[in-house]
Amino acid sequence: MKLITRSLAFAALLIAFVGLSFGQTAPRTWNAAEHAAHVTEFDVNGLKVLVKRRPAAPTVAAGLFFRGGARNINEKNAGIENLTLNAALEAGKNVSRQQARRQLSAAGSTIGAGSAKDYSVVSLAATRANFDRTWDIFTDLVINPAFVPGDVERVRQQMIAGLREQETSPDGALNSLQDRILFAGHPYGISVVGTTATVAAFTPKDLAAYHASLLQTSRMLLVVVGDIDPNELKAKITQSFGKLPRGSYQEKPLPAIDFSKPTIDIAQRTIQTNYVQGAFNAPSLSNPDYFAMRVAITILQQLVYEEVRIRRQLSYAPNAELNNLAANTASIYVTAVDANQAVKVMLDQIDQLKTDTIRSEIIEGMAGQFLTNYYINQETNAAQVIELARYELIGGGWRNSFDFLDRMEKVTPEAVRNVARKYMTNIRFAVIGDPNAVDRDIFIRASVVPFR
């Protein structure tokens, strides 16, 4: 699992509840309006395009996003969108597989594809000097894929191997179990990467038919970041995508995920430690509670690290995370021989967040750390493409991405306590390990502090 590097500032946060605090808040240098002014928005035949110009940037990154994600598929065709997009990148009408690889390699460019629960994407990264040629290859593969049977089979076998490998890993098995339990009856319950059975069944003809349904501008979003003139790019997009059908795609609203009661599901496996993940409800990017929840999860992350790893040495990698889904969740995670004690300690930290009021200077001091992390996470063009797209697709609009730091700065101690009470309840646990080593009463204990 991923862990945040512990800086001196966050070391203070670990013991914030007993009176120590951060130093002075880092000075603000962020101007949301100024950053938003670098983004140009326009429409090409129903295709929404966002271009963020970064003068003197040596590279250009682009992402062509397809709306819907898991909402586009069902149990029978699970994984078809992911396989379609990846197989499409093998060869196009005007460029063979060998030609595409040779030219991309010579230019130092990359083109890739992937699917997530809320959207899929075909991505491009190139130097500014090689962008034009890379764009031509990109658009040929996206619009006119060949779906050569041998290419499709090669990609299929790679995906099947990945699916099999996922189940052999305890972490992979834990995530699969959590998804099956948490998303039962929900669109997210359909795996966007599919199963070995579904992926094995698709034919090149199936992929070509699905690809035709994808290429509707009403379901697409293009985001480009780099030192490129928006007007110049608009001409290229019009030439490439201007004649695609608009379609009438509308995303289906997502139902709420069931967090009506705490649960625990255990899959037996003979391993040295027990793998545990507990999911709970969380606000999405478009919800005003999201920002207080980010602060609360950051604090919880530090608390469980301090209490579970450092003080009690129960686990090497305890963690807490907030996802970024349209129907969002958060989670706590731990691997431990004594899962009962580790989980009890983690739940104690959640209860502490619900009862204790964080000192305001602690939260104010976090502003500098969030600002630093924000800049680090936005260093690459590709990261900025993802950020703009995520807010546009599930966060209420791309302009909200530039309000993040201002919204974080306005989080109060009371808001942190309130989101902990509101969302960190009815935790649904998944466990990979020894069922006899798990005390279910510890895992599904009722919250001692109901939200009011």
Domain definitions of the chain by residue range: 8-30+256-443, 38-241
Q: Is the pTM of this model over 0.75?
A: yes
Q: Do domains 8-30+256-443 and 38-241 have the same CATH topology?
A: yes
**Predicted local distance difference test score (pLDDT) of residue 75:** 95
Q: What is the mean pLDDT of residues 59-88?
A: 97
**Predicted local distance difference test score (pLDDT) of residue 36:** 87
Q: What is the mean pLDDT of residues 218-223?
A: 97
**Predicted local distance difference test score (pLDDT) of residue 202:** 98
Q: Residues 6 or more apart from 102 whose CB is under 8 A from it?
A: none
Any alpha helices (H) in 26-120, and if so which ranges? Answer: 32-36, 80-88, 97-107
Per residue in 198-220, pLDDT (tens digit) is 999 999 999 999 999 999 999 99
Residue 432 has pLDDT above 80, yes or no: yes
Q: What is the mean pLDDT of residues 422-448?
A: 90
End-to-end CA, the chain: 34
Burial of residue 231 (number of CB atoms within 10 Å: 0-12, 13-18, 19+): exposed
Shortest CA distance to 147 belongs to which of 191, 197, 96?
96
**Cα-flanking dihedrals φ and ψ of residue 26, to 5°?**
-65, 145
Cβ atoms of 247 and 220 closer than 8 Å: no
Sign of the torsion angle spanned by Cα atoms 417, 421, 423, 426:
positive
| Tokens describing residue 379 | 């260093």
Residue 396 has pLDDT above 90, yes or no: yes
Residue 13 has pLDDT above 60, yes or no: no
**Predicted local distance difference test score (pLDDT) of residue 28:** 53
**Cα-flanking dihedrals φ and ψ of residue 292, to 5°?**
-65, -35
Maximum Cα–Cα distance across the chain: 66
Q: How many helices (H) and strands (E) does the chain have?
A: 17, 11
CATH of 38-241 among 3.90.209.20, 3.30.830.10, 3.40.50.1980, 2.40.30.10: 3.30.830.10
The better pLDDT of the pair 223, 250 is held by: 223
Q: What is the mean pLDDT of residues 402-407?
A: 88
In the sheet with 39-44, reading across from the earlier edge strand, the strands are: 39-44, 47-53, 220-226, 59-67, 119-127, 110-115
Q: What is the mean pLDDT of residues 432-441?
A: 94
Split at pLDDT 50, 70, 90, the class of 360 is confident
Residue 23 has pLDDT above 60, yes or no: no
Cβ atoms of 297 and 321 closer than 8 Å: yes
Split at pLDDT 50, 70, 90, the class of 368 is low
Per residue in 338-350, pLDDT (tens digit) is 999 999 999 999 9
Cβ atoms of 317 and 335 closer than 8 Å: yes
Q: What DSSP string describes 140-178? A: HHHHSB---HHHHHHHHHHHHHHHHHHHHSHHHHHHHHH
The better pLDDT of the pair 374, 139 is held by: 139
**Predicted local distance difference test score (pLDDT) of residue 437:** 93
Shortest CA distance to 91 belongs to which of 125, 136, 137?
137
Which residues on neighbouring strands pair with residue 320, listed in sequence order? 332
Which overall architecture, per CATH, does domain 8-30+256-443 show?
2-Layer Sandwich (3.30)
**Predicted local distance difference test score (pLDDT) of residue 337:** 95
